[in-house]
Amino acid sequence: MELVEKSNIIERLNKDYGKERVCLVNTSDYDLTTLPKHGNSNIDRSNWADKVVKYLYKINRNSINHEPRFFSTGEYNFTYIKFVKDDKGKIYGAVSGLSCFHSNYPSDVYFYDIPDDEKKQLSDLMVKNHLEWYKDEILIFMNIDAKDRNEAKDNEKKLKKLFNLYD
């Protein structure tokens, strides 16, 4: 599968969906490498989520469950793209996923080793092409309705197909 360059992904999403839904979010100052678990207390992950929620939604993360328009789910759902870079510094989209921000847990976005068989194709591609995770930022593709988890699922599938991304 041929990877698509980060700049082409951003350009296409901005053109098709508008710049307000496409957000590059800094991850370089935070440890997003430890496996997130429900209620993860990793302070870096929590600080990252606090900062991103404030930036994207203009509220404090601890008030998510108290926002009247989001009372039915208590979470803000979104789709994201994680990137890889090659040994020449080129950056490509690699993985699409969906996640959410919640007042009780920050998010399950993380950079991981790929040891298991279900991700073997991506792991093989990374080894063969001398790729490594680009841990400086991720792209968040915002839902029109942040409380709609199904919209995030649909967006994940759409991004995967548009840009040859892995799960």
Chain-centre distance for alpha carbon 115: 20
Tell me the mean pLDDT in the region 87-114.
79
Give residue-wise pLDDT tens across range 1-41. 689 999 999 999 999 999 999 999 887 765 565 555 544 45
pTM of the model: 0.82
Tell me the mean pLDDT in the region 92-117.
72
Would you say 153 and 98 are in contact if contact means Cβ atoms under 8 Å apart?
A: yes
d(CA 115, CA 124) in angstroms, rounded, equals 10
pLDDT above 90 (res 49) = no
pLDDT of residue 122: 81
pLDDT of residue 62: 82
Tell me the mean pLDDT in the region 63-68.
66
Q: What are phi and psi of 27, to 5 degrees?
A: -125, 0
pLDDT above 70 (res 141) = yes
pLDDT of residue 70: 44
- Please, what is the average pLDDT of the chain? 82
Chain-centre distance for alpha carbon 67: 23
pLDDT above 50 (res 99) = yes
d(CA 122, CA 114) in angstroms, rounded, equals 8
pLDDT of residue 119: 66
pLDDT above 60 (res 71) = no
